[in-house]
Amino acid sequence: MSLAVIRSRSLAGLDAPEVSVEVHLANGLPSFTLVGLADTEVKEARERVRAALATSGLEFPHNKRITVNLAPADLPKESGRFDLPIALGILAASGQIEAGRLDGFEFAGELGLAGDLRPVRGALALALALQRRGTERALVLPAASAEEAALVEGIAIHAASHLLDVVRAVLPAQDATPLPLARPGAAIPAEPGADWRDVKGQSAAKRALEIAAAGGHSLLMVGPPGTGKSMLAQRFAGLLPPMTQDEALESAALLSLNGDFRPARWRCRPLRAPHHSASSVALVGGGSPPRPGEISLAHHGVLFLDELPEFPRAALEALREPLESGRIVISRAARQAEFPARFQLLAAMNPCPCGHLGSPLRACRCTPDAIARYQGRISGPLLDRIDLQVEVPAVAPEALAASTQGEAGAQVAERVALARARQLRRQGLRNAELAGEPLEAHCALDAAASQFLQKAAARLAWSARSFHRVLRVARSVADLAGADRIALAHLAEAIQYRRVLGVG
């Protein structure tokens, strides 16, 4: 046998298309060539594989012309993930292991010079791709990556710590030591999050956040410094209903692409809070190979942008499209990648540079011009995409000094879950995602409410988008109240959440 074919996978966005690693040995001038649109990291595999085979006591065919082809040739391939399949291909092509014993497996793993297997990025995405294609093959992964991949049900994931573990597993049946099956890491109970109750007062803001949680709406908090905006945001993800198995897998797979997945956070909705110095690439994704940005890492969870006006304008504008489409396509000269990005946007800001505009406690020192410039950093189109705006005013000292009061987060979460369940039963979507005909059907208004809405829209000069957003929010208010139809009171509450910054 001088030709061997080993199966592996590449990463393209969240998908992982199949790659055949073909290894051919021929007589002739000794060489080791790697072809098939491989980037430098993959090309360095030659040195790692050569050393790993030698130090593991296996034979590297020094006197042969070795050609490794990664097919299909037009699919870009990156990272050291192909080290293990290349090494196995060389062993099979040179007759040191039996090629037939490798059928039924796919391999991914980076080799150390001593033959040890190092974790790979995106192991969960590889496993997910295998499951979604319904193949019968098992996946062999470095032990450090196998645990997260084992969260995907219905496929066999084997863990190996060293190249020799894999070699021993594919010896003729009587001598073989099979690789252990990986199990998902024991669920570590999530540390109890900070509670909703810690935030004193702020009942209007809490109510708005409850509505946002129920319908999946985006929300902006505006208020002076130190009134609890960041506190509220940190506690917001705890109000959301738990993720379904599919959502949890997608979220974990995206985090795993960046090496950010923590088993302890399994099934917890992600809360991503990038600093305001973040670039647009950090926020929406990019680079070569394309990596997911914060908006994709917040998929099915919350993206919190604290101090919104401080973010670079370009970064904020880049959010406009994914906010509506729930995905991002990153195009670079050589390649394109698509990542899902169905995140819920939460943002906070001060009303003016000094922060005290509108406060009854302290006078604002900013000039009208400075205020306009500050608020103008958030473009109209972005503001137009934010469903709810809410004021978070200074808390009176009496309220702060009072012992714990208000509802526990669990109680709010229960109401949110009921309202969410109503939406899914009725329309199969969250209210924030309603559009077109279903929007009209499920947000129908009676004559009085319709008149009221038209008047408000005319007076506040709303765009068509704003008009529909108010309807969606009103639908969520009605769902929280357990009402089948939107009543005037629901609508009136929804309208008041669009007026804080006086734009949109």
Ligand X SMILES: Nc1ncnc2c1ncn2[C@@H]1O[C@H](COP(=O)(O)OP(=O)(O)OP(=O)(O)O)[C@@H](O)[C@H]1O
- The residues, ordered by sequence, that sit 6+ positions from 196 with a Cβ below 8 Å of its Cβ are 206, 235, 238, 239, 406, 407, 408, 409, 412
Closest approach, Cβ 198 to ligand X, in A, equals 6
Which tokens sit at 230? 């960041």
Which tokens sit at 155? 């496929």
500 binds ligand X (CB under 6 A): no
235 binds ligand X (CB under 6 A): no
Would you say 328 and 343 are in contact if contact means Cβ atoms under 8 Å apart? Answer: no
Among 104, 226, 376, 502, binds ligand X (CB under 6 A): 226
Residue whose C-alpha is closest to residue 302's, from 219, 419, 208: 219
Closest approach, Cβ 60 to Mg ion, in A, equals 58
Residue whose C-alpha is closest to residue 209's, from 40, 450, 409: 409
Cβ neighbour number for residue 436 with a 10 Å cutoff: 8
Identity of the amino acid at 360: P
Query: Residue 229 or 430: which CB sits closer to Mg ion?
Result: 229
Distance between CA atoms of residues 209 and 199, nearest Å: 13
395 binds ligand X (CB under 6 A): yes
**Residues of this chain, 210-229, that bind Mg ion according to CB under 5 A:** 229
Stretch that binds ligand X, among 79-87, 223-231, 317-325, 417-425 (CB under 6 A): 223-231
Identity of the amino acid at 54: A
Query: Residue 230 or 288: which CB sits closer to Mg ion?
Result: 230
Whole-number CA gyration radius for the chain: 28
Closest approach, Cβ 231 to ligand X, in A, equals 4
Stretch that binds ligand X, among 8-16, 69-77, 228-236, 366-374 (CB under 6 A): 228-236
Closest approach, Cβ 348 to Mg ion, in A, equals 6
Query: Residue 142 or 201: which CB sits closer to ligand X?
Result: 201
Beta bridge partners of 25: 66
229 binds ligand X (CB under 6 A): yes
Closest approach, Cβ 359 to ligand X, in A, equals 12
Identity of the amino acid at 293: G
230 binds Mg ion (CB under 5 A): yes
Question: For ligand X, how many residues bind (rule: CB under 6 A)?
Answer: 15
Closest approach, Cβ 201 to ligand X, in A, equals 5
Query: Residue 77 or 356: which CB sits closer to ligand X?
Result: 356
How far is Cα of residue 444 from the mean position of the Cα atoms in its chain?
A: 34
Residue whose C-alpha is closest to residue 178's, from 186, 188, 170: 170
Closest approach, Cβ 312 to ligand X, in A, equals 19
**Residues of this chain, 341-380, that bind ligand X according to CB under 6 A:** 348, 350
Binding track, positions 284-323, relative to ligand X; x by CB under 6 A: ----------------------------------------
Question: For Mg ion, how many residues bind (rule: CB under 5 A)?
Answer: 2
Cβ neighbour number for residue 422 with a 10 Å cutoff: 20
Stretch that binds ligand X, among 30-38, 43-51, 224-232, 409-417 (CB under 6 A): 224-232
Query: Residue 254 or 386: which CB sits closer to Mg ion?
Result: 386
Would you say 320 and 295 are in contact if contact means Cβ atoms under 8 Å apart? Answer: no
- The residues, ordered by sequence, that sit 6+ positions from 219 with a Cβ below 8 Å of its Cβ are 208, 209, 212, 345, 346, 347, 386, 387, 388, 389, 390
Binding track, positions 168-207, relative to ligand X; x by CB under 6 A: -------------------------------xxxx-----
Helix residue ranges, H only, 326-463: 368-376, 380-384, 397-401, 409-427, 436-442, 447-459
Cβ neighbour number for residue 73 with a 10 Å cutoff: 11
Closest approach, Cβ 350 to ligand X, in A, equals 5
Binding track, positions 171-210, relative to Mg ion; x by CB under 5 A: ----------------------------------------
Distance between CA atoms of residues 344 and 220, nearest Å: 11
* 3-state DSSP assignment of residue 356: coil
DSSP structural state of residue 162: B
228 binds ligand X (CB under 6 A): yes
Terminal alpha carbon distance of the chain: 70
406 binds ligand X (CB under 6 A): no
| Contact set with ligand X (CB under 6 A) | 199-202, 223, 225-231, 348, 350, 395
| Contact set with Mg ion (CB under 5 A) | 229-230
